[in-house]
Structure 1
Amino acid sequence: MIRADDFREAMQRFAGPVTAITTIENGSPSGLMATAVCSLSAEPPSIIVCINKTATAHDAVLRQGFFGCSVLPDTLKAFAEHFARAKGTDRFEGALWIMQETGAPLLAGSSVAFDCRIAATHDGYSHTIVVGIIHDILLPNENADRCMLWHRKGFVRVAGMDDAERHAE
């Protein structure tokens, strides 16, 4: 039998992208941080997001039927800490948000952001597994190579080649 503490320790060693999952309900933005996000399919373009059922934005995302998924760059560590710590609409202060087709807030300056409509949900025990069909993608050049990860209970940057090394290849 796998102990819960062993599972949590194992998952701390599993790095995941830091994302802001957002929606808007009755004119007020709602959101949460998630690291359980991955691509699903290119046809149709879709992603999977796992949302903890106890998250304050969980029900709002499901009720609205749409969400934004903004992948945070390592240049926005202070904002990530604020978004993770703050509650309600206070999470959205101090950043520029863009709205595309669905109306879900997408973080300006993100590495990439997806504007999605919910196609399906599945029970994932403590989480809801949300399948999102992508209706729009923001592909800014500014932070394209600067994905922030969550690893060992903290925000870390992807170690890699700098721009000079990358262009020399």
Structure 2
Amino acid sequence: MIRPEDFREAMQRFAGPVTAITTIENGVPCGLMATAVCSLSAEPPSLIVCINKTASAHDTIIRQGFLGVSVLPDTQTAFANHFARAKGVDRFEGALWNFQETGAPLLAGASVAFDCRIATTHDGYSHTILVCHICEILLPNVDADRCLLWHRQGFVSLAAKQAAEKA
């Protein structure tokens, strides 16, 4: 039997890209940070996004049926800390946001951003698994091709890690 603490320790060793998952309802942006995002298919272009059912933005994202996935570049650690710690609409302060086809907020300084519609949802125990069709892909920041990672309960930059390894 796998103990929950062993699973958590194993997942801390698994680095994942830091993403802002966002939507908007009645003109009010809503979102959360997530690392459980991955590609699903090129035909049709789609992603899988997993959201904890207890997250404050969970129900709003499901209800709206659309979301933005903004992959943070490794230069955005301060914004990532702000977005992760702030609550509600305060998360969106201090950054520029784009709005595409669905209306979901997409981070203007993202490495890449995906504007998506939720195609299907599945029960994932503590999470809801969202299969999302990509409506648009934005590559707004050509100088930010390295994404910020979450590893060992902290933000990690590949550039910083590579520099430390060379030292």
Q: Which TM-score applies when normalising by structure 2?
A: 0.94
What is the CA–CA distance in structure 1 between the aligned matches of 2:42 and 2:162, rounded to whole Å?
A: 28
Gap regions ≥5 residues in structure 2: none
- Provide the aligned C-alpha RMSD in A: 1.4
- Per-residue CA deviation, residues 86-143 of structure 1 (Å, 9 max, x unaligned), is 0000000000000000000000010000000000000000000001100001012434
1:16 corresponds to = 16
Gap regions ≥5 residues in structure 1: 163-169
Q: Is 1:124 matched up with 2:93?
A: no
2:25 corresponds to = 25
Please say if residues 110 and 143 of structure 1, whose CA atoms lie closer than 8 Å, have aligned partners that are also in contact.
Answer: no
Deviation at 1:161, TM superposition (A): 8.0
* Aligned-residue identity in percent: 80
2:75 corresponds to = 75
Deviation at 1:145, TM superposition (A): 1.7
Q: Residue type of the partner of 1:6?
A: D
1:40 corresponds to = 40
3-state SS of paired residue (2:109): coil
Q: Residue type of the partner of 1:119?
A: A
1:104 corresponds to = 104
1:166 corresponds to = none
Give the count of matched residue pairs.
Answer: 162
1:134 corresponds to = 134
Deviation at 1:157, TM superposition (A): 1.0
2:113 corresponds to = 113
Q: Residue type of the partner of 2:92?
A: F
1:165 corresponds to = none
What is the CA–CA distance in structure 2 between the aligned matches of 1:58 and 1:68, rounded to whole Å?
A: 13
Q: Residue type of the partner of 1:69?
A: V
Please say if residues 14 and 151 of structure 1, whose CA atoms lie closer than 8 Å, have aligned partners that are also in contact.
Answer: yes
What is the CA–CA distance in structure 2 between the aligned matches of 1:139 and 1:61, rounded to whole Å?
A: 23
Q: Residue type of the partner of 1:30?
A: C
Please say if residues 21 and 70 of structure 2, whose CA atoms lie closer than 8 Å, have aligned partners that are also in contact.
Answer: yes
